[in-house]
């Protein structure tokens, strides 16, 4: 699996956990990477490490909505494309934490308008391809089928009256339409990736369920979950595997036909089971789980069918949940000791 060694990769949201690791992987392969981020949810430390360890990395602190900054960036890229340097855009910039899904204007602006703008700027600058990071949230209330929901399974979206958090799923679904439209019109190659519950040992925010559980148990020996967590099951994808999927798709030109790809695992676990597993790894045996509150339009199960990406690229997840959780705990424990 190889990417064109002469290609420059432009990554939005490069300070985030997925963007920064994709950047590192590409840099380790000898590519040039230009990344930008406004540090809304990203890590300055990750950017400092990339800058200090890789000469081929260029960083711009800028908001994806900053038209002047985007004008300068894409003008430079267009000049390089003109002299024969292929460019690929990887869109990792997004409003992704659940608490922000209820802020409709900012979610729409970043996840939809900014995506469309960067896609059309990439086309105008002559980029060869565009990778659109979407989400399994688009399946909304139809998130489970025997064998996993497929990319062409019908989508059953919760309405605004049921939950405003559906703004995230609705917006990401619309970006997939933009992606397919531009590919089918022959403007660019590309695809959309529906990630399912990506986690990382280095994730700095406790809003997501795995860091929330680990942090709570390490601090208090107890954890608070939503009431319906008693019945909820999910799969969890290690960030290393999500980045491998991105690189596998980039390296498979035939896969960049506007298609949508599910990227997740088959390892489904209940949220209560996840808490118990983490507690065991932390050697906590008098575990206390509190349940309070609820969240509407939150499906009880979400399982993706991975046949399409497996068949087209050969990608499969490699990091099992037990190993991934051990990595998360080791990283956080080390951080607490320093």
> Which region, left, alpha or beta, applies to residue 148 given φ > 0 means left and ψ of -120 to 50 means alpha?
left
Arithmetic mean of pLDDT, 109-132: 98
- pLDDT computed for residue 130 by the predictor: 99
Contacting residues for 241 by C-beta, under 8 A, at least 6 apart:
263, 265, 317, 318, 319
Q: Which residue has the higher pLDDT, 172 or 41?
A: 172
Question: Do 252 and 312 form a contact (C-beta atoms < 8 A)?
Answer: yes
Number of H helices, E strands in the chain: 11, 13
What are the residues facing 132 on neighbouring strands? 91, 192
Q: Tens of pLDDT along 142-193?
A: 999 999 999 999 999 988 888 888 888 999 999 999 999 999 999 999 999 9
> In whole angstroms, what is the distance from residue 80 CA to residue 48 CA?
25
Closest to 93 (Cα-Cα) out of 20, 169, 187, 3: 20
What mean pLDDT value characterizes the chain?
A: 94
Q: How many CB atoms lie within 10 A of CB 114?
A: 21
- pLDDT computed for residue 1 by the predictor: 43
- pLDDT computed for residue 34 by the predictor: 98
Question: Do 99 and 207 form a contact (C-beta atoms < 8 A)?
Answer: yes
What domains are defined for the chain?
Answer: 8-196+237-264+303-318 (3.40.50.720)
Q: Tens of pLDDT along 240-259?
A: 999 999 999 999 999 999 99
Residue that is written with structure tokens 């802020």 in the block: 103
Arithmetic mean of pLDDT, 5-28: 95
The 3-state DSSP class for residue 179 equals helix
Arithmetic mean of pLDDT, 93-107: 76
């Amino acid at each position: 699996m190889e990417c064109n060694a002469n290609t420059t990769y432009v990554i939005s949201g490069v300070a985030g956990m997925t963007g920064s690791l994709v950047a590192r992987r590409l840099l380790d392969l000898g590519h040039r990477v230009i990344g930008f981020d406004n540090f809304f949810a990203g890590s300055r430390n990750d950017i400092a490490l990339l800058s200090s360890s890789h000469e081929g990395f260029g960083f711009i602190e800028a908001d994806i909505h900053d038209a002047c900054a985007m004008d300068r960036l894409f003008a430079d890229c267009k000049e390089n494309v003109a002299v024969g340097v292929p460019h690929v855009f990887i869109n990792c910039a997004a409003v992704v934490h659940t608490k922000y899904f209820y802020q409709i204007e900012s979610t729409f602006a970043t996840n939809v308008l900014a995506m469309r703008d960067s896609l059309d700027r990439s086309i105008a600058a002559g980029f060869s391809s565009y990778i659109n990071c979407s989400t399994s949230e688009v399946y909304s209330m139809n998130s489970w089928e025997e064998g996993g929901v497929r990319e062409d399974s019908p989508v059953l979206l919760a309405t605004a009256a049921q939950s405003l958090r559906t703004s995230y799923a609705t917006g990401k679904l619309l970006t997939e339409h933009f992606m397919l439209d531009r590919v089918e019109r022959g403007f660019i190659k590309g695809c959309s990736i529906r990630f399912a519950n990506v986690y990382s040992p280095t994730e700095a925010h406790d809003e997501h369920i795995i860091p929330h559980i680990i942090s709570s148990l390490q601090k208090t020996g107890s954890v608070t979950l939503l009431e319906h967590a008693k019945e909820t099951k999910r799969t969890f994808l290690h960030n290393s595997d999500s980045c491998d999927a991105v690189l596998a798709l980039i390296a498979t030109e035939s896969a960049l036909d506007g298609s949508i790809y599910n990227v997740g695992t088959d390892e489904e676990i209940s949220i209560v089971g996840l808490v118990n597993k983490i507690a065991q790894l932390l050697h906590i045996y008098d575990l206390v789980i509190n349940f309070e509150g609820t969240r509407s339009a939150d499906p009880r199960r979400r399982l993706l069918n991975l046949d399409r990406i497996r068949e087209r690229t050969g990608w499969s997840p490699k990091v099992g949940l037990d190993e991934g959780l051990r990595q998360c705990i080791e990283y956080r424990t080390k951080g607490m000791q320093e």
